[in-house]
Amino acid sequence: TGNLTIAGALSAAAASTITVTDNSDTLTLKSTDADENSGPRLSLTRDSANPAVNDFMGLIAFNGDDNAGNVTRYAYAVAQATNVTNGSEEGKFIIHTMVGGTERQRISIAGAETIFNEDSIDLDFRVESDGDANMLFVDGGNNAVGIATNSPLLASGRGIVVHGAASVARVELRNNTSGGAATDGMFLTYSGNDAFVGNREAGTIQFWNNGSERARILSSGELLIGKSVTTFTTSGITFGNTTGEIAAVTAA
């Protein structure tokens, strides 16, 4: 009924329960060692004589009563041995939580991948930045991804929606070979009711379809359709096909 002090090791051959009647620490593991090694340490060890793939290595459960007095496991973490071959061992760590009365897998960390929401429920994923609560938002119900928005509404299908400040949204593809300066790369900008596509460097913008180039915008401002080489030195439009040039429209 009081405190118990043991000078040596403690070993229990059966399940044991420690009960407290307040919110104090139920169990404290303390190390008084002063070095750079880890301590104190908690080890969950499954010492099997015949280890097999997908053996469970341990489970930590967070249990509590619901309002009907039923003991409910609200969350738990479990580890598995996914490869027990000596020298190639691999493990998996999985976190589950209760969602709508059913235990669901939320995060799975394995040797080759990390998976969020493998149970495919209507679950959102949100990443905050210093200045935006929805810097990255995955809408699980609408199958869409939002940047700087938690409502990535699409006209149809699946895709990515970018929101910007003051009604300006921008996507840039940068060339890091020159340090990723603000003048590098291609951009797509939506401002007000206007949309802009451009190349921030003196270069060519190509349009491909079905594995072949169909159109090209040169740095001089000329638009080529159906060909990739021009003989004009002024801005204009050049049309062509496999047999050669059909027509040319130059600037007035």
Q: What is each CA distance from 173 to 62, 93, 165, 194, in whole angstroms?
A: 45, 36, 19, 20
Look at residue 181 and tell me whether its pLDDT is greater than 60.
Answer: no
- Encode pLDDT of 45-92 as tens digits: 999 999 999 999 999 999 999 999 999 999 999 999 999 999 999 999
- Encode pLDDT of 196-242 as tens digits: 888 877 778 888 888 888 888 887 777 888 777 765 555 567 776 54
Please say whether the dihedral angle defined by the alpha carbons of residues 32, 33, 34 and 39, taken in this order, is positive or negative.
negative
The whole-number pLDDT of residue 169 equals 83
| CB contact at 8 A, 219 and 206 | no
| CB contact at 8 A, 219 and 202 | yes
β-strands 90-99, 71-83 pairing: antiparallel
3-state class percentages of the chain: helix first, strand second, coil last, to nearest 5: 0, 40, 55
The whole-number pLDDT of residue 244 equals 46
- Rounded-to-integer distance, Cα 105 and Cα 141, Å: 17
Please say whether the dihedral angle defined by the alpha carbons of residues 43, 49, 55 and 59, taken in this order, is positive or negative.
negative
Which of the four pLDDT bands, split at 50, 70 and 90, describes residue 252? very low
